A and B are shown apart, each in its own frame.
Chain A
Amino acid sequence: MKIAFTTTGKGWDAQVDTRFGRAIGFFIFSEESKIEYYVSNEQNMNAMGGAGVQSAQNIINLKIDALVTGNMGPRAFQILNSAGIKIYLAEENLTIKEAYEAFKKNELKEVANPNVAGHWV
């Protein structure tokens, strides 16, 4: 399984970014190959609107199976859901490592609906 975490920095000890659309970056980990890497999402910081759409598109293009983030708006949810990507919510202040451990123990809540309203629509 290839998992993406929204992250505020690099590596396993960085904190999960609770934002999705305007997350600073993604930490990607492939359980099969054990390959891990960081993808910047900063081109999205200056988006006028629809940052969640662009982030979701990035996740699709990275061929991710599961996403761990803090919040999910309606548009991003619609896109990821249609692509069959599973979405899990992590609490604030978790490191990527802690979030991954919680994920393995099935402790993260799977998102069945968007949990926040879009920012400006």
Chain B
Amino acid sequence: MKISVASGKGGTGKTTFAVNFSLFLNNIKKNKIVLVDLDVEEPDCHIFLKHKNFKRKKCFREIPKVNEKCNLCGKCSEICEFNAIAVTNTKVIIFPDLCHSCYACIEMCPQKAFDIENIEMGEIHWGNIASNNFYFVEGKLKIGEVMAVPMIRQTKNFSAERFGENSYFIFDSPPGTSCPVIEATKESDFVVLVTEPTPFGLHDLKLAVETMRKLRKKFGVVINKAGIGDQSVSEYCYNEKISILGEIPYSREIAELYSQGKNIINLPSINKIFEKIHKNILSLL
């Protein structure tokens, strides 16, 4: 089972939901629960897990590296759509940060003058949290690295290989509606869209809904900070026949727990809400 947690806008409580929902599932399920932080630019889940001894693995992506067979013909620079290669009268210059690893230059070079080089793009951290059946994985992009999609893909693949398809995966996806979100949600069985009941929340929820419909995903909405704004998000969901999986009320207590990096699942009222959300997801699968 794979469930992605996404939101059109940052700061709606996506990470809070992903972490607490994983803890909730760990309490009720026999499966391995694997929480995977795919918000690789700013992974924050670990803050709420208070775990220090993560295992680490460096991640690489493949880029071309020119070898001695090169005769400076310039074909590679001509075909590279990402402008990652320039050929001067003395050498070939490759810009790794522009390369999308499409292999066109490598495989179309008339001289076969390219080898493959691995460059580091970030790290995967993982570990066993709290109980024997709860695992955590995060992908973290190096500062200055800009290719989020390959980092997300490797983190997903690593999680699947390491923990097996029978595990219960919760993916904390990056915010927004562009490529990284697609990568973090496209193989999931269900997507939880977390929003807040304000005009900003509504506007960005609409974009997220449009994205999920384009991907033909099953999805539902969790309204976080319920009570701070108005009814427009609920009305929108009602009109669009979108399931509201549950509402997490706003309270100063929750905001303070959050600020300390503490979890909310042990509050009995919140645990009840998560029970309901879980039931609603099952009924939609």
Contact = CB atoms under 8 A, between A and B. Distances in A.
| A–B interface present (Cβ within 8 A) | yes
Interface of A: 47-51, 53-54, 56-57, 60-61, 75, 78-79, 82-84, 120-121
B17 to A, nearest CB: 31
Contact of A50 (B83, B88, B89, B90): B83
A53 B90 contact: no
A79 B89 CA distance: 10
A41 to B, nearest CB: 13
A82 B93 contact: yes
Contact of B95 (A47, A75, A120): A75
B42 to A, nearest CB: 18
A72 B91 CA distance: 20
A117 B165 CA distance: 45
Interface of B: 74, 77, 82-91, 93, 95, 97-98, 144, 146
Q: From DSSP, what is the main secondary structure of chain B's interface residues? A: loop
A87 to B, nearest CB: 14
Given A50-B84, A121-B97, A82 B146 contact: no
A56 B82 contact: no
24 contacts: A49-B82, A49-B83, A50-B82, A50-B83, A50-B84, A51-B83, A53-B85, A53-B98, A54-B83, A57-B77, A57-B83, A57-B87, A60-B89, A75-B86, A75-B95, A78-B93, A79-B86, A82-B88, A82-B90, A82-B93, A83-B88, A83-B89, A83-B90, A121-B146
Contacts of B88: 60, 79, 82-83
A49 B86 contact: no
A53 B146 contact: no
Give the interface centre of B77, B88, B89, B146 by most chain A CB atoms within 10 Å. B88
Contacts of A47: 83
Given A50-B84, A53-B86, 19 more contacts: A47-B83, A49-B83, A50-B82, A50-B98, A51-B83, A53-B84, A53-B85, A54-B83, A57-B77, A57-B86, A57-B87, A60-B89, A61-B74, A75-B95, A79-B86, A82-B90, A82-B91, A120-B146, A121-B144
Contacts of A83: 88-90
B245 to A, nearest CB: 37
A54 B86 CA distance: 7
Contacts of B85: 53
Given A60-B89, A83-B89, A53 B97 contact: no
A56 B86 contact: yes
B144 to A, nearest CB: 8
B95 A50 contact: yes
A121 B147 CA distance: 11
A84 B85 CA distance: 17
A78 B271 CA distance: 58
Given A54-B83, A57-B77, A121-B146, A49 B90 contact: no
Contacts of A48: 82
Contacts of B82: 48-50
Contacts of B77: 57
**3 residue pairs, one from A and one from B, having the closest CB atoms:** A50-B83, A83-B88, A53-B83
